[in-house]
Amino acid sequence: MVKCRYVLVGIGWLVLTFCKPNNRASETRSTKFLNEPLVSEIYTADPSAHVFENRIYVYPSHDINSERIPGDCGSQYSMTDYTVFSMDSIGGPVTLHEVALPLKEVPWAKRMLWAADAATKNGKYYLYFPAKDKEDVFRIGVAVSNRPEGPFTAQPTFIEGSYSIDPAVFEDEDGSFYMYFGGIWGGQVQHWDKNKYTPADCDKKDNEQPNAPAIGPRIVKLSEDMLGFSEEVKEIQIVDSDGSPILTKDNDKRFFEAAWMHKRNGQYYLSYSTGDTHYIVYAMSDNPYGPFTFKGILNHPVKGWTNHHSVVEIKGKWYLFYHDIQLSNQTNLRNVKVAEIFYNNDGTMKALNTLIE
């Protein structure tokens, strides 16, 4: 006979099972995921979370089965619409809303509705999203709604001067809105030098000089009407603790995709994915434009290839929204989750491990 003890840990469903045979000759330990998926009716990924109208809204990618061959260019992620979900509180019931924006209603877009974000100003809601245009170049568009869940109406063309993927919009305390964006490999940002595009296939994935400074995410201030850029796009510099640039070869530290900005106690936190090493890491600055000093890991690798997130304060606590592939065990069919995060006394963030097995 085997006796087992079950322990529930954290805000989700981490279950630690300690099983001991009667003779106590051996002990086994099996573990599960830290949290359960928030939505199981559809596959969701790349969650951008916000509190609008005293309710939590999550703007995820909507994963679908794809017949495209998996590869480094990301063709297996061929999403065709956005669907928002919301909840009153962490752990409460989740409402899955109707389709917020389908690809067929974006006049300039050809395919691949990848990770999006949302913002609000003067009673309007703005959905910022990447898609490949008719020439298969990633651009960033914007759609507008009177409601946080949509439906959204896309502008007739993409934002002038926009490119690459993963727009994340941050509102500073002075009311200014900034967009952080970019992604290497399939995200194409390596094809843009000083905001000029050089056509190339996906074989050019990074800076081709491993000892050179790594490609950085981009930042731009949004226009007053939220529909465009008010300045030239700038590249963000991420440096090590000694002030030296993070290098292309620093795969555990260098920017890959999924830039996200949040602010706490006057400090700006730029978090992002390292891509092929599968971490979410972060860097800090006292300026939204940087430079940002690398600090460490926010989330360890999840089950699945991609690691993409957002950070949001809800009722005085901070949470990481992220995804893995618990439901499907398939890299392009993901599910969104949430975990509480914590800070050290010096303002640095404590690393999470959301996959315990």
Task: State the Cα–Cα distance between residues 233 and 226, nearest whole angstrom.
Answer: 15
Same domain, 1 and 76: no
Residue 104 resides in a domain: yes
Supply angle C-alpha 220, 225, 62, rounded to 5: 70
pLDDT classification of 203: cutoffs 50, 70, 90? low
Give Rg (Cα) of the chain: 20
Total domains in the chain come to 2
pTM to 2 decimal places: 0.90
Same domain, 166 and 240: yes
Peptide bond into 151 cis (omega under 30): yes
Residue written as token pair 């606590």: 317
pLDDT for 70? 66
Residue 352 resides in a domain: no
Residue 27 has pLDDT above 70, yes or no: no
Same domain, 144 and 270: yes
pLDDT for 32? 85
Task: Assign 103 to helix, strand or coil.
Answer: helix
Is the distance from CB of 217 to CB of 255 less than 8 angstroms? yes
Helix and strand numbers, DSSP H then E, in the chain: 0, 26
pLDDT for 356? 81
pLDDT in tens, 332-352: 999 999 999 999 999 999 999
pLDDT for 149? 98
- Region 195-214: mean pLDDT is 86
Residue 349 resides in a domain: no
Structure-block tokens of residue 204: 């050019």
pLDDT for 8? 36
Task: State the Cα–Cα distance between residues 120 and 126, nearest whole angstrom.
Answer: 6
Residue 346 resides in a domain: no
Same domain, 4 and 54: no
User: Which domain does 152 fall in, by range?
Assistant: 39-341
Q: How large a percentage of the chain has pLDDT more than 90? A: 83
Residue 122 has pLDDT above 50, yes or no: yes
pLDDT in tens, 209-241: 999 999 999 999 999 999 999 999 999 999 999
Residue 302 resides in a domain: yes
DSSP 164-193: SS--EEEE-TTS-EEEEE--SGGG-GGGEE
Same domain, 314 and 200: yes
pLDDT for 102? 98
pLDDT in tens, 66-97: 766 666 677 778 899 999 999 999 999 999 99
pLDDT classification of 18: cutoffs 50, 70, 90? very low
Same domain, 24 and 60: no
- The residues annotated as belonging to the active site are 46, 257
